[in-house]
Amino acid sequence: MKSFKIFLKAIIILLSLACGAFLSGLAIESCVQHMCPEDEPIKSVEFERIFMNECDTYTIISNGIPREMSLNGCEKIKIFYDVPKDEKMYLEYQKKCSGGNLLMAWMEIHIHSIDEINGGGWNRGKFGKGQTNVIQ
């Protein structure tokens, strides 16, 4: 009788382990299915005004609506002064899959002149907040 109880406990432990492994496999499979499938196509957004919050974060005003554009790294942003005065300024960017997340990979800002970039506010919570100033 004692050996039967030990056998029964062993079966229960093995079933628990198998069930746990099965459920873990489902969770992992579920996460894999929700990972980004592929890189997004290049997108273009026209804007009227642009503010530099930090070297890797800009806010644009497009059709009266503010929109923050943020990357992880200043070197991923290029600024071009190639838009004629009679045309709208625009921004091009692409999001790419990295580690299962869709992240901004690069951004190009096309403006009339350097004078178009205004200073913008920034806030790092307990580490401080402030305003980026344009140097003339």
Task: Write down the H helix ranges in the chain.
Answer: 2-33
- Cα separation, 64 vs 9, in Å, equals 68
Domain shared by 30 and 53, yes or no: no
Nearest of 134, 136, 71 to residue 108 by alpha carbon: 71
* Residue 31 tokens, joined: 């996460």
Domain shared by 30 and 48, yes or no: no
For residue 88, being part of any structural domain is answered with yes
What are the pLDDT digits (tens) for 34-61?
A: 567 678 899 999 999 999 988 888 999 9
What are the pLDDT digits (tens) for 61-110?
A: 999 999 999 888 888 999 999 999 999 999 999 988 877 778 889 999 99
Handedness of CA 46, 47, 52, 54 (dihedral sign): negative
Q: How confident is the model at residue 130 (pLDDT cuts 50, 70, 90)?
A: confident
What's the predicted TM-score (pTM) here? 0.66
For residue 136, being part of any structural domain is answered with no
Give DSSP secondary structure letters for 80-92. Answer: E----TTS-EEEE
Domain shared by 8 and 50, yes or no: no
**Above 80 in pLDDT, residue 16?**
no
Domain shared by 86 and 122, yes or no: yes
User: Is the separation of the CB atoms in 44 and 90 below 8 Å?
Assistant: yes
Domain shared by 63 and 91, yes or no: yes
Domain shared by 26 and 53, yes or no: no
Domain shared by 15 and 66, yes or no: no
Domain extent, residue 30, equals 1-34
Inter-CA distances, 133 with 44, 52, 72, 120, 121, Å: 27, 9, 21, 7, 9
For residue 85, being part of any structural domain is answered with yes
Domain count for the chain, please give it: 2
Domain shared by 108 and 50, yes or no: yes
Regarding beta strands 43-47 and 49-54, do their DSSP bridges make them parallel or antiparallel, or are they unpaired? Answer: unpaired
For residue 59, being part of any structural domain is answered with yes
Domain shared by 62 and 108, yes or no: yes
